[in-house]
Amino acid sequence: MIHTAYISLGSNLGDRSGNLRDATERMRELGEVTRESSLYETEPVGFTEQPWFLNGAVELRTELAAAALMRELLGIERAMGRESNRPKGPRNIDLDLLLFDNQIVNATELTVPHPEMHERRFVLAPLAEIAPDAIHPILRKTALELLEALPAAGEVRRIDQR
């Protein structure tokens, strides 16, 4: 069975755009990357004393189940040298599984939809660009509706179309 997954990508260390390109290429081994957002330069959230991020989103069509896909995404992060030194701290790559078909998953190792996606402009702007009608299966709103409902806090600016 083919599943549709939406994945958020972020990087604020090293060659940020190169890191996002590399991660996207590695995801092609997990299925077909059918859509890629522009790149967005975004203000850090939470721990703000760090470099700004580049963020994006991809649509991936894959035969992997949600938990298996998340394990593979974590493997890509490890292979690219990601170290988890501080929650919300600087990192060369961050991959988050946002949506997986219309599934709701609440497990120790995985929560889908991503529990904070509806609060994050840096996630919703690229997602709404590639999948404005993607439905959050709990909130029953589209990515575009969620983006439009956010307060205007935290700078997010589109800098590059891929």
Peptide bond into 90 cis (omega under 30): no
Q: Is the dihedral of CA 139, 141, 143, 148 positive or negative?
A: negative
Q: For this structure, is 71 an active site residue? A: no
The residue annotated as part of the active site, out of 16, 94, 120, 121, is 94
Q: For this structure, is 101 an active site residue? A: no
The residue annotated as part of the active site, out of 16, 26, 82, 121, is 82
| 3-state DSSP assignment of residue 60 | strand
The residue annotated as part of the active site, out of 26, 91, 120, 121, is 91
Q: For this structure, is 22 an active site residue? A: no
Q: How far apart are CA 59 and CA 38, in angstroms?
A: 13
Ramachandran region of residue 51, left (φ > 0), alpha (ψ -120 to 50) or beta?
A: beta
The residue annotated as part of the active site, out of 21, 22, 35, 96, is 96
Q: For this structure, is 91 an active site residue? A: yes
* Residue positions annotated with a catalytic role: 82, 91, 94, 96
